[in-house]
Amino acid sequence: MTRVLPPHVALYGVIMMAGATGFLWTETGTLDRTTLLAAFMTASVATTAYAAIGLIASMRRKP
């Protein structure tokens, strides 16, 4: 049985990346490689958690 992620998960990842970049940029006052790496890692973890929760929920709904 194969589960496919809906397209809005990718969109959520892009929005998270932009939000994390903006937040870290305003907090640190600089936009360098470290800030972008931290934003990417934050967005990756949040998007993975969002996708995992969605997959678990879809498996519980459909036998």
- Rounded mean pLDDT, 44-48: 88
Alpha helices, DSSP H, located in the chain: 8-28, 33-61
Domain boundaries, the chain: 8-61
C-alpha span between 12 and 16 (Å, rounded)? 6
C-alpha span between 62 and 16 (Å, rounded)? 29
What pTM value is reported for the model? 0.67
Say which residue, 57 or 30, is predicted with more confidence: 30
C-alpha span between 33 and 43 (Å, rounded)? 15
pLDDT digits (tens, 9 = 90+) for 21-45: 999 899 989 889 988 899 899 888 9
Q: How many CB atoms lie within 10 A of CB 33?
A: 7
Cα Rg of the chain, angstroms: 15
